[in-house]
Structure 1
Amino acid sequence: MSHHLAPGVWGVVATPFVGSAHTVDETGLTRLVRHYEAIGATGLTVLGVFGEASRLSAGERRTVLEVVAESVGLPLVAGATALATAPVIEEARLVTETLGDRLAGLMVQVNSPDPITVAGHLNAVHEATGAPVVVQDYPATSGVTIRTADLAEAVKAVPSAVALKAEAPPTPSAVAALTAELDVPVFGGLGGLGLLDELACGAAGAMTGFSCPEGLIACTRAWHEGGYTAAREAYLPYLPLVNFEAQAGIGLAVRKEAIRRRGLFLEAGVRPPSRTLPEQLVPQLARHLSATPGAILAGAR
């Protein structure tokens, strides 16, 4: 039987690129994941939406998995980008071959509004690969909208499910409904925008990317140690930057530039057709970082 994912913060890892060819930057990737480990992340999620996995070749995906696994000892979740069963199985086999027993879960997107179809899809992926499943409900990427009650029904029918990532707004009410029905832990995403409210509604933590994941960890730890008041106090200094990174269409570019300015990436490039950071927003990003606790690390350029 697969083990449920541990509560806390599972950092979604951005993939750094260098040069005009946008070559995977293994040095920057190593620096980023070691930082996650050093600040106390519970685990890491690689090849997610903000890891630009859909724009990586199979060889590049393998490289990312290998670099992360060799760089840190944290448990790893790996994402699959496809919606149909056969290509997800193909992606999953690359993941299981590369990570072996380091794999804590394969993150698979909800691919239908019908719970029977979803459960059949997830069970088929597990049966073909043996991978424990993290169910991702992210309609902004998948284009699939499922009712919360139907999502709970689907997950109940997947014995290999080890977590659910709820990213269909409004997420706090969805988290409340899902945690009331399910034994598997439910994690929030969306850059941590709703983290405080999701924790209040029963979330196990966050599975997301943010240029200052220290804020996600501080909020989650404070919630468990002191409840709402403590978590709110811990998270408040980070919320302007969280909100700034949540801008539709350019969120990835904002985050990667923030990570670069922290000294973790050499460059902040995104692969086309992702939109780049508008020059008009660069000064405001600098203001946000200067006002965020610990945002600029020692040695940052």
Structure 2
Amino acid sequence: MATDPLAPGVWGVVATPFTESEGDLDLGSLSKLVAHYRRIGVTGLTVLGVFGEAARLSTAEKRAVLEVVVDSADLPVVVGASSTSSAPVIEEIELAADAVGDRLAGAMVQVNTADPDALVHQLRVVHAATGAGLVVQDYPLVSGVSISAADLAAVVEQVESVVAVKAEAPPTPPAIATLTSRSAIPVFGGLGGVGLLDELAAGASGAMTGFSFPEGLKACVDAWWEGGYQAALEAYLRYLPLVNFEAQARIGLAIRKEALRRRGLITDSGVRAPAASMPETLDKQLDRHLAAVENMES
């Protein structure tokens, strides 16, 4: 199994659509969404992450999602592991490898301890059991674990199977600067793209996050490579109000899925409990944000 560093760019984080009536997987919408990512030219896909509600899916549902993704677009795939302990993480990665095959560019595992030595051991155990390249996700809001950027950099330096870091421990720009100064391993920003410009300035290789207009993430990253900060700023400005709107605590997932629905990319915007639905009081404002982006794109 390949353990090459992830390619720079935008790794589109894929939502998991559900049917309105029963809350079952909507595999038709999933295929349509993945095809959209392929059309806009993302570097690869990230599946079964937090945005994909992986922790609320059964094993059979996870397999179904992975099979539809690989059938819908010929792109490399990073697959998330929602567990934090070694044994269930290994099982999730084995499922991913079986379903995705040689398209598996990396398995995303969460930082599960603030002890650098223990984290090195955890990552080595997972890689030894699976052979997968590892994307280390530093996301304390989800994992409940905080590790310093310097300690995480030390871990990355010691574990050869790490193919990328997804930095989501605010403030992300100084953390990314520390990580990229210590290692050549690519670091990607997340958190809905709120800090993307500053993350690129700090040395990020791109974005790996959920946003209802992934075209905006790609426009920003491409402009950064072609013209630096000013070009990236101009490319991203039109999207920033919507980026900020989608970043609202507790309801961000529901807002993004509703925006995808209004764009015609999925049929329904339902989320699984305990995630909260988007308040109806935000309907008009979401329409305003979407219209503003669409008007500037036309």
The Cα of 1:206 is off from its aligned counterpart by 0.2
Go from structure 1 to structure 2 and tell me whether the alpha carbon gap of 1:294 and 1:178 turns closer, same or farther (over 3 Å shift).
Answer: farther
The Cα of 1:21 is off from its aligned counterpart by 2.2
User: Over residues 168-199 of structure 1, what are the superposed CA-to-partner deviations in whole Å (9 max), with x where a residue is unaligned?
Assistant: 00001111111000110000000000000000
**1:203-242 alignment to 2 at 5 Å?**
203-242=204-243
Aligned equivalents of 2:247, 2:167: Cα separation in 1: 16
**1:32-51 alignment to 2 at 5 Å?**
32-51=33-52
Matched, 1:58 2:83: no
Equivalent residues of 2:246, 2:255 under 8 A apart: yes
Aligned equivalents of 1:149, 1:159: Cα separation in 2: 17
Aligned equivalents of 2:196, 2:293: Cα separation in 1: 17
Aligned equivalents of 2:124, 2:78: Cα separation in 1: 17
Go from structure 1 to structure 2 and tell me whether the alpha carbon gap of 1:295 and 1:137 turns closer, same or farther (over 3 Å shift).
Answer: farther
Aligned equivalents of 1:91, 1:20: Cα separation in 2: 28
Matched, 1:200 2:197: no
2:275 alignment counterpart: 274
The Cα of 1:119 is off from its aligned counterpart by 1.0
Matched position secondary structure for 2:165: strand
Q: Which amino acid aligns with 2:54?
A: A
Q: Which amino acid aligns with 1:15?
A: T
Per the normalisation by structure 1, the TM-score is 0.97
Aligned equivalents of 1:250, 1:267: Cα separation in 2: 16
Query: How many equivalent pairs are there?
Result: 297
**1:157-176 alignment to 2 at 5 Å?**
157-176=158-177
Aligned equivalents of 1:239, 1:110: Cα separation in 2: 29
1:255 alignment counterpart: 256
Aligned equivalents of 1:293, 1:221: Cα separation in 2: 19
Aligned equivalents of 1:169, 1:55: Cα separation in 2: 25
Structure 1 residues not aligned, in runs of 5+? none
**1:14-33 alignment to 2 at 5 Å?**
14-33=15-34
The Cα of 1:123 is off from its aligned counterpart by 1.0
Aligned equivalents of 1:265, 1:295: Cα separation in 2: 22
Aligned equivalents of 1:143, 1:134: Cα separation in 2: 18
**1:123-138 alignment to 2 at 5 Å?**
123-138=124-139
Matched, 1:107 2:108: yes
User: Over residues 192-242 of structure 1, what are the superposed CA-to-partner deviations in whole Å (9 max), with x where a residue is unaligned?
Assistant: 000000001100000001000000000000000000000000000000000
Range with greater deviation from structure 2 (131-140 or 12-21): 12-21
1:244 alignment counterpart: 245
Matched position secondary structure for 2:11: strand
The Cα of 1:77 is off from its aligned counterpart by 0.2
Over 6 Å off, 4+ runs? 294-297
Range with greater deviation from structure 2 (12-21 or 255-264): 12-21
Aligned equivalents of 1:158, 1:23: Cα separation in 2: 39
Go from structure 1 to structure 2 and tell me whether the alpha carbon gap of 1:294 and 1:163 turns closer, same or farther (over 3 Å shift).
Answer: farther
Go from structure 1 to structure 2 and tell me whether the alpha carbon gap of 1:16 and 1:296 turns closer, same or farther (over 3 Å shift).
Answer: farther
Equivalent residues of 2:238, 2:296 under 8 A apart: no
Aligned equivalents of 1:202, 1:19: Cα separation in 2: 41
Per the normalisation by structure 2, the TM-score is 0.98
1:151 alignment counterpart: 152
Identity of aligned residues (%): 63
The Cα of 1:156 is off from its aligned counterpart by 1.2
Matched position secondary structure for 2:249: coil
Equivalent residues of 1:290, 1:296 under 8 A apart: no
The Cα of 1:276 is off from its aligned counterpart by 0.3
Matched position secondary structure for 1:98: helix
The Cα of 1:33 is off from its aligned counterpart by 0.7
Q: Which amino acid aligns with 1:97?
A: D
Equivalent residues of 2:107, 2:135 under 8 A apart: yes
User: Over residues 119-147 of structure 1, what are the superposed CA-to-partner deviations in whole Å (9 max), with x where a residue is unaligned?
Assistant: 11111111101111000000000000001
Range with greater deviation from structure 2 (122-131 or 247-256): 122-131
The Cα of 1:293 is off from its aligned counterpart by 3.5
User: Over residues 59-113 of structure 1, what are the superposed CA-to-partner deviations in whole Å (9 max), with x where a residue is unaligned?
Assistant: 0000000000010001000000111111101111111111111100000000000
Aligned equivalents of 1:255, 1:224: Cα separation in 2: 27
